Amino acid sequence: KNIDGTNSLYLYQGAWIPGFNLRGVDSFQRRFIAQDTDIIVASMPKSGTTWLKALAFSVAERHIYGPRESPLLSTSPHELVRFFETDLYSKDQPPDLEQLPPPRIFGCHSHYANLPESIRDSKCKVVYICRNPLDQIVSFFQFAHKFKLDDGTSLLSLDECYENICRGVQSQGPFWDNVLGYWKASLERPDKVLFLKYEELKEDIVLNLKKLAEFLGLPFTDKEEEEGVIEEISRLCSFDNLRNLEVNKNGVRPLSGAPNSAFFRKGEVGDWANYLSPSMAEKFFNIVEEKLAGSGLSFKTSQESA
């Protein structure tokens, strides 16, 4: 199913892209026209994208659906948004996205520098979620092995995967380039790019939901706060709630055939310690630290924290 009939990662415009995503990535970059009202949810894979999609949707659509009528109760977060690179844009005829009512919400793993120009140039908003890279590695490894996602490196042994990742070779990596692009953009253009951390969302979801709503230009009113709307959204989108919904237990993504349950595993911080040795963790953190040096972005090595 890969573009060249093999399972490989390709270094394309500085990013490692699975062969089966190449056409979509290229087509997305050339053809996508952003609208000022669009919301782009960006991330490295396995960083909490599904969660952020659900949160962004719930914030943006809260005046239309109360939490008890939310489409999220019967629809996977991935079906609420259009996941460009992999599926839709690999088709010769991309879907008619003009028809979608605003705000359109899209998911994307592209590096910031490789986004379609109209995303950077329009007034649309970009929300990025990053995660402790060791948890990201473990989550991706588990996902790939359980669902046989073969990008040429993902089905290697954990030791082999780890060695590749230390060289930056992983789907949508290098990790440091993916995060740094958005991190720098969030500093230069804070009204354009919001940079969130998975661990901080776990720690204080209410604070982060307020941040998200304000950034999207849809701040919660005092009345909404009094009525507990923020807590309702956080409960609706919580790991336990989403994971236990019928659609996420037994549903399947129509285009890729991936089970929705694949996107809900443990949802914990620090699970890497169950898979990677302390010396593997230390070596990788040293590499990441060196790559992020001077940027102001850092990750804590402690198992409990970001």
**Binding positions for ligand A3P, 91-150, rule CB under 6 A:** 135, 139, 142
**Site for ligand A3P contains 238 (CB under 6 A):** yes
**Site for ligand A3P contains 271 (CB under 6 A):** yes
Long-range contact set of residues 139-145: C-beta below 8 Å, sequence gap at least 24 = 139/46, 139/265, 139/271, 140/45, 140/46, 140/170, 140/171, 141/275, 142/265, 143/45, 143/46, 143/262, 143/265
What is the C-alpha to C-alpha distance for residues 268 and 201, in angstroms, rounded to an integer?
11
Nearer Cβ to ligand A3P, position 260 or 290? 260
**Site for ligand A3P contains 264 (CB under 6 A):** yes
Helical pair 133-147 and 158-166, crossing angle rounded to 10 deg: 130
Residue 109 among the catalytic residues: yes
Which of 8, 49, 58, 234 is the binder for ligand A3P (CB under 6 A)? 49
Which of 192, 211, 265, 291 is the binder for ligand A3P (CB under 6 A)? 265
Helix (H, G, I), strand (E, B) or coil at 65: coil
Backbone angles phi, psi at 43, to 5 degrees: -175, 165
Is 81 within 8 Å of 53 (Cβ atoms)? Answer: yes
Q: Which of 63, 109, 111, 145 is catalytic?
A: 109
Which of 20, 46, 86, 130 is the binder for ligand A3P (CB under 6 A)? 46
Which of 21, 43, 110, 186 is the binder for ligand A3P (CB under 6 A)? 43
CA 140 to chain centre: 12
Min separation Cβ 263 and ligand A3P, Å: 5
Binding site for ligand A3P (CB under 6 A): 43, 45-51, 135, 139, 142, 237-239, 242, 263-267, 271
Question: Catalytic residue numbers?
Answer: 109
